[in-house]
Amino acid sequence: MTKLIIERGSRGQMATSLPKCDVPEKSLDELIPGQYQRAWDAIRLPEVSEPELVRHYTNLSVKNHHVDKDLYPLGSCTMKYNPKINDWTAGQPITAEAHPLQTQEMSQAQLQIHFELEQFLCGITGMQRFTLQPAAGSQGELTGVLIMRKYHAQKGNRKTKILIPDAAHGTNPASVAMAGYAAVEIKSNSRGLVDIDDLKSKLDDEVAGLMLTNPNTLGLFEERIQEIVELIHGVDGLMYMDGANMNALIGIVRPADMGFDITHINLHKTFSTPHGGGGPGAGPIGVVERLVPFLPTPTIDKMDDKYVINHDHPDSIGRLHAFYGNYGVLVRAWTYIRMLGGNNLPDISKAAVINANYLMYRLKQYYHLPYDLPCMHEFVLSAIQQKSAGVKALDIAKRLLDYGFHAPTMYFPLIVKEALMIEPTESETRETLDRFVEVMAKIDEEIRTNPDILHQAPQTTPVGRVDETLANRQLTVRW
């Protein structure tokens, strides 16, 4: 047993500087077939000074838009400021250097964070227990619907469908279909809320449950939630809350108190975590007491003073994610909640709701507000008036980039034509919101005086207007 010999390449001296390892003496060719070996060539890196390097990365960092640069009012997605301490915690050796296969005894600190986060989420939602495994809201939804299925199967209920309002996020019907149920659409009424008569007309014994986003994607609170819950529970259906975005509710209203049986929360929205560009995320699922046996296995429990990984759940739907889920995101959410402290959590939601209402009242002077009610954490405008001047919501979104703001969510929810869905979040100041209103007013003026500017936007970004249709049909994701 002597050292590994690496003898290829022009920088052979590297081999002598390798530490002596206790592995069998074998040449590289014996270990790795020649065709898989990389020819060792000196890497051509530019020789630059420190200031040049710093400028390079600084300039690179502002070529794209991000929350650290300016407002990112992406409705439903909650692009709030990410406190830097979250990344500091996630980068500590206890997180960054933990190995998923280390033993339970060696993982007590990691399991403690896991356990405490579950407790915080139970406190925030009123649910009995959570699983932190799902790696996204959509995976949380699937987990929730699988729990519904198991519940009904055990009771011998014959259930075939799940009701979903027409304002719902597209992942809802997708999750329902993946779990083997039919998705049945419920209409919204003229006030943008669930149409109770339509709900009643679609309710029968085969309804497994209702998936509801509350506040809904128009940013409106379902006032008749208790009546809805009674109707669904009346046919032994389960109430599922799409709580992806809980920014209006934290510390103010608990899903369990509204009558929900299952809820998911997107930690990467409500509890910060940089998630622009598609990841990473975490969509934990919480359930009421009677559904706890069905949660994914393992659970992280506390016995005496020890944290244990508990696989002993015979009725569990099984495992959803390898190891402990997206652990770095869990640590960020845990840090975010601990830094604020339980008593201050409601301040998040109060500020988010005030900011959204302030923006809504100022912007409705310029853009149509189809559902003119006080909003929660977000609201949806329609660029329908601007469309008569030949300018679409998409053009407005592109023009905003020229003024240094990220675009709002567009064309969603589907029930609003030319939708612009705006969520300022709690982390913006009055000055920023006023700047945004000024820009939106200016864009409205441009539409009436010089609509062509809008069609050519954006012009100040490194990449201009792309052919979206071509990009959708011929997706090329490499140089």
Ligand X SMILES: *Cc1c(COP(=O)(O)O)cnc(C)c1O
Question: Does residue 413 belong to the site contacting ligand X (CB under 6 A)?
Answer: no
The count of C-alpha atoms lying within 13 angstroms of the C-alpha of 356, restricted to the half-sphere facing its C-beta, is 32
Nearest residue (CB) to ligand X, 242 versus 444? 242
CB of 275 to ligand X, least distance (A): 8
Q: Which of 292, 307, 293, 300 shows the shortest CA–CA distance to 324?
A: 300
Nearest residue (CB) to ligand X, 107 versus 273? 273
Phi, psi at 239, each rounded to 5°: -95, 120
| Amino acid in position 191 | R
Nearest residue (CB) to ligand X, 169 versus 332? 169
Nearest residue (CB) to ligand X, 209 versus 386? 209
Within 210-239, which residues bind ligand X (CB under 6 A)?
A: 213, 217
Q: Would you say the C-alpha torsion 135, 139, 145, 146 has a positive or negative sign?
A: negative
Nearest residue (CB) to ligand X, 137 versus 424? 137
CB of 62 to ligand X, least distance (A): 26
**Cα–Cα distance list, 317 to 51, 127, 153, 260, 397 (Å):** 55, 18, 12, 20, 42
Q: Which of residues 82, 130, 239, 242 is near ligand X by CB under 6 A?
A: 242
CA distance 182 to 164: 10
Question: Does residue 325 belong to the site contacting ligand X (CB under 6 A)?
Answer: no
Within 113-152, which residues bind ligand X (CB under 6 A)?
A: 136-138
CA distance 378 to 359: 9
**Residue 218 φ/ψ region, left for φ over 0, alpha for ψ in the -120 to 50 degree band, beta for the rest:** alpha
Nearest residue (CB) to ligand X, 188 versus 213? 213
CA distance 469 to 465: 12
Nearest residue (CB) to ligand X, 140 versus 237? 140
- How many residues bind ligand X (CB under 6 A)? The answer is 15
Question: Does residue 171 belong to the site contacting ligand X (CB under 6 A)?
Answer: yes
Q: Which two tokens stand for residue 399?
A: 């023009």
- Rounded to 5°, angle at Cα 355 from 349 and 360: 125
Alpha helices for 202-344 (secondary structure H): 225-234, 255-258, 267-270, 327-340
Instruction: Tell me, residue by residue from 44 to 83, as one string, x for binding to ligand X by CB under 6 A and - for no binding.
Output: --------------------------------xx------
Q: Which of residues 244, 246, 330, 454 is near ligand X by CB under 6 A?
A: 244
Which residue's structure tokens are 């469908």?
161
Nearest residue (CB) to ligand X, 107 versus 143? 143
Question: Does residue 245 belong to the site contacting ligand X (CB under 6 A)?
Answer: yes
| Residue 271 near residue 330, CB atoms below 8 Å | no
Within 330-349, which residues bind ligand X (CB under 6 A)?
A: none
Say how far residue 35 (Cα) sits from the centre of its chain: 42
CB of 134 to ligand X, least distance (A): 9
Return the range that interacts with ligand X (CB under 6 A); candidates 16-24, 52-60, 241-249, 366-374: 241-249
CB of 136 to ligand X, least distance (A): 4
Question: Does residue 281 belong to the site contacting ligand X (CB under 6 A)?
Answer: yes
CA distance 299 to 311: 7
**Position closest to ligand X via CB:** 137
Helix (H, G, I), strand (E, B) or coil at 227: helix
Nearest residue (CB) to ligand X, 78 versus 107? 78
Nearest residue (CB) to ligand X, 138 versus 349? 138
Which burial class, exposed, middle or buried, applies to 458 when counting CB atoms under 10 A from its CB (0-12, 13-18, 19+)? Answer: middle
Residues that bind ligand X (CB under 6 A): 76-77, 136-138, 169, 171, 213, 217, 242, 244-245, 266, 281, 283
